[in-house]
């Protein structure tokens, strides 16, 4: 019986050592041959874009970029209009500005709801088309008061104060 017992212990020890060796591996070792997941016959050339493809396409809303857009759309009195945008949006921070891309608080004449634009640049064009087409000549601040641009009685003096800092 002791021989059988010793034999069982030896067999068990051998099996245990073989299993332990089988479980050992080198985690940082590289495989002997490379694994190929996919093959490709040709490589497409990446599409090259020029700087102009990125310019004014989702441009950042900054004072400088708004001035560029005002000039591009030939908006009269760009400094005053920029001051209006800064006042209307709280320096580009209002929800109307960030969500609806409406820089000037422009409203639909029919129901008074605010315009919503896909990009802020569109609101600059809309300002020119919907507000400035009414302007003929003279003092622009007086024009804004005359057309009732804002409900605030001090609106034009606030706009003037901001424009003087630009």
**pLDDT band, very low/low/confident/very high, at 134 (cuts 50, 70, 90):** confident
> Please, which residues have CB within 8 angstroms of residue 115's CB and are 6 or more apart in sequence?
100, 102, 106, 107, 108, 123, 126
User: Domain extents for the chain?
Assistant: 60-165
79, with CB counted inside 10 A (0-12, 13-18, 19+), is: middle
Q: How far apart are CA 104 and CA 97, in angstroms?
A: 8
Q: What is the pLDDT of residue 121?
A: 93
What top-level class would CATH report for the domain 60-165?
A: mainly alpha
Q: What is the pLDDT of residue 166?
A: 86
**pLDDT band, very low/low/confident/very high, at 16 (cuts 50, 70, 90):** low
pLDDT in tens, 30-65: 445 545 444 444 444 544 444 444 344 458 999 999
pLDDT in tens, 57-98: 458 999 999 999 999 999 999 999 999 999 999 999 999 999
Q: What is the pLDDT of residue 76?
A: 92
Kindly report the average pLDDT of the chain as a whole number. 77
pTM: 0.63
Q: Which helix (H) or strand (E) holds 133?
A: none
At residue 10, does pLDDT exceed 80? Answer: no
Q: What is the pLDDT of residue 84?
A: 93
Q: How far apart are CA 85 and CA 31, in angstroms?
A: 63
Q: What is the pLDDT of residue 162?
A: 93
Query: What is the percent of the chain with per-residue pLDDT over 70, rounded to a whole number?
Result: 67
CA torsion sign for 89, 94, 98, 101 is negative
């Amino acid at each position: 019986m002791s021989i059988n017992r010793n034999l069982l212990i030896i067999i068990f020890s051998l099996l245990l050592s073989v299993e332990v060796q089988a479980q050992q591996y080198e985690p940082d070792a590289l495989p002997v041959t490379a694994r190929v997941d996919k093959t490709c016959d040709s490589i497409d050339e990446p599409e090259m874009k020029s700087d102009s493809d990125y310019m004014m396409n989702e441009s950042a809303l900054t004072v400088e970029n708004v001035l560029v857009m005002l000039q591009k759309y030939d908006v009269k009195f760009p400094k005053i209009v920029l001051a209006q945008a800064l006042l209307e949006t709280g320096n580009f921070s209002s929800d109307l500005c960030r969500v609806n891309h409406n820089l000037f608080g422009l409203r639909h004449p029919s129901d008074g709801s605010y315009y919503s634009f896909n990009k802020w640049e569109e609101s600059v064009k809309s300002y020119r088309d919907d507000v400035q087409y009414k302007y003929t000549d003279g003092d622009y601040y007086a024009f804004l008061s005359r057309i009732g641009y804002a409900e605030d009685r001090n609106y034009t003096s606030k706009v003037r104060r901001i424009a003087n800092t630009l």
